[in-house]
Chain A
Amino acid sequence: MLAALLPWRSFGRRALVCILLLVILAHAAERASLAEEWRPKALPALTLDTLDKHTTDLSDAARSVTLVHFFATWCEPCRDELSQLDVLAKRYARRPLLILAIDVAEPPSRIRRFVATRPVRFPILLDADRSAMKAWGVDAFPTTFVLGRGPCPLWRLAGAHDWLTPASLARLGAALAAAESEAFQTPSQHCSSSGDQS
């Protein structure tokens, strides 16, 4: 009797595994779908001082894929996401990936203490008076904007995002490949084709 049931039990186990995989894939797809296509009429301006007292803008973004990431040290999901962005910075060190992490409305001394315990390989920009946050229409932390070569707006990711899922890595990898394939051309003045990278 038991032996007769075994194939069924094995089938049931396989079915269970399949169902779990479908759930996981659906979840991954849902996470990936958090990346909304973003097509503003004009790219918001961005000129901010860094924690190291340099002025940074988007001039280095012309030939890169750029992640403009808004965060605050008090925002718990931001902490994990900054770590993930640092993993991306390391993973794509030889590829045209530019990460600009913008801390909103916190004193520099607090941010210095924060990055002393969680070092990252990209610059921290200071949006002390929330002007950049307003210009970019950010209403929740973290929020990340992905810019393609140009820089051209690609996606807006409001809320926590898992950058290390296969879907996210594939999407970013495709954007990087697109940027690299055009790396020796003059950056386009128009971003109408940027959606192709998605």
Chain B
Amino acid sequence: MMLTRRNALALGAGAAFSTGMPWLSTARAADAVTFAPKPGAWRTFELTTTVEIKAAAGPTQVWVPVPGFAADDWMRPGETTWTASGGTVALREGAPGKAALVHAKWDAGATPSVVVTSRFATRDRSVATDAKGTAASLPAEQRKLYTSASELMPLDGIVKKTSDTIVAGATSDVEKARRIYEWIVDNTFRNPKTAGCGTGDIASMLSTGNLSGKCADLNPLYVGLARAAGLPARDIYGLRVAPSAFGYKSLGANSAVVTKAQHCRAEVFLDGIGWVPVDPADVRKVVLEEPPGNLSLSNAKVVAARKALFGAWETNWVAYNDARDIDLPDSKGPSVPFLMYPQGETADGRMDSLDPDSFKYSISVREIKA
């Protein structure tokens, strides 16, 4: 058989299935390494985003994502305030009921700047997936939303085909969700050259066989494959705000300046269990970046992270929103596939949100101790 990209993909999936869950065989070695987030005390943080546009061409607009995602057991968004150099500023939504953002507008001739401050509280998560629970079922409207396609997340064609291959023979939703997780970990890799967090163009990834990227590629790939398997799933966009308490340098914000610490995660909804946190992209981040770097999948730190990140998150991270295909209020430009970076627009068009040095913005964080 000629080895093509596509059947290499299928072989990769087959290999993962034939060995079951490869991390199990080395789980004992991981006992020496601890990565086991559990719900504990809530931590409160204050996030400050500063945007300045030095040479604005004509009327200028800025959209700053703020914490708007709420979950009773792990995420409590708090008050958002701002100061601005004139203009008009308002707290708005980029999508109905979702994607909270601060929208600032200035007329031509202004020197636009805005400082947005938000508070939020968060705590670690751990959800048992090995026992049938009694969690409430997902309302029909939400089930429909979280099993639907989006602009960059088609659920037919190669996405459906790949998902079907991965979950073939699975006898439960938990098994399907875990198989997809293991497949992502086994078959993708983090690409340090990917700009920002990636684009999330999952059909392109599967079509080209280039399964590399960063969190906004790999975790939406999980979400797309899960949705294609009929499982409600969502990607949640946010920012790392604190170091990892488990000593993982690659999985934390190790400075008060978090301008480039954006991180996207994923959840899958399992009947009886509820929303389950997953983060296969962070397993691949540990592989690539955890010192000394380029770790093998059998490395104890990787094994421990892989074991934990299906069902648990260390929530040294703030959730902004889970929205996709967002029309920025009053923008003349196209919708954005997700909102994790500040966005700006002048008469010259949309500014480059991945270039915080030319589109001047900075983000800092501090923990509020009781």
Contacts and interface: CB of A to CB of B under 8 A. Distances in A.
Interface of A: 72-74, 76-77, 105, 107-110, 113, 128-130, 139-141, 158-160
B195 A74 contact: yes
A158 B210 contact: no
A53 to B, nearest CB: 10
Contact of A110 (B201, B333, B352): B352
Nearest to A104: B201
A158 B157 CA distance: 15
A127 B82 CA distance: 34
A115 to B, nearest CB: 14
A109 B352 contact: yes
A130 B154 CA distance: 14
**B interface majority secondary structure:** loop
Given A107-B352, A110-B355, A140 B203 contact: yes
A158 B207 CA distance: 9
A130 B352 contact: no
Interface in B151-200: 151, 157-158, 191, 193-195, 198-199
Contact of B348 (A76, A108, A159): A108
B256 interface: no
Given A74-B199, A130-B334, A140-B203, A159 B208 contact: yes
B207 A109 contact: no
Interface in B250-275: none
B4 to A, nearest CB: 9
B354 interface: yes
Contacts of A76: 191, 193, 210
B358 interface: yes
Contacts of B351: 107, 109
Nearest to A110: B352
A105 B334 contact: yes
Of A72, A74, A130, A141, most buried by chain B (CB within 10 Å of CB) is: A74
Nearest to A127: B334
B349 interface: yes
Given A107-B350, A110-B354, A140-B204, 8 more contacts: A74-B194, A74-B195, A74-B198, A74-B199, A105-B337, A113-B352, A128-B333, A159-B207
A77 B210 contact: yes
B348 A109 contact: yes
Contacts of B349: 107-109, 128
Contacts of B207: 139-140, 158-159
A109 B355 contact: yes
13 contacts: A73-B195, A74-B194, A76-B193, A77-B208, A107-B351, A108-B349, A109-B348, A110-B354, A113-B352, A128-B333, A128-B350, A139-B203, A159-B208
A105 B198 CA distance: 13
B321 to A, nearest CB: 20
Interface string B306-346: 00000000000000000000000000011101000000000
Residue of A73, A77, A109 with most partner-chain B CB within 10 A: A109
Contacts of B352: 107, 109-110, 113
Given A73-B195, A74-B199, A77-B210, A141 B204 contact: yes
Nearest to A105: B334
Contacts of B198: 74
Nearest to A128: B334
Contacts of A141: 201, 204, 208
Contacts of A160: 208
Nearest to B205: A140
- Rank and list the top 8 A-B pairs by shortest CB-CB distance, nearest first: A140-B207, A129-B334, A110-B352, A107-B350, A140-B204, A109-B352, A140-B208, A107-B352
A107 B349 CA distance: 7
A107 B196 CA distance: 14
A77 B359 CA distance: 27
Contacts of B333: 128
A153 to B, nearest CB: 20
A31 to B, nearest CB: 12
Contacts of A108: 348-350
B151 A130 contact: yes
A160 B352 CA distance: 26
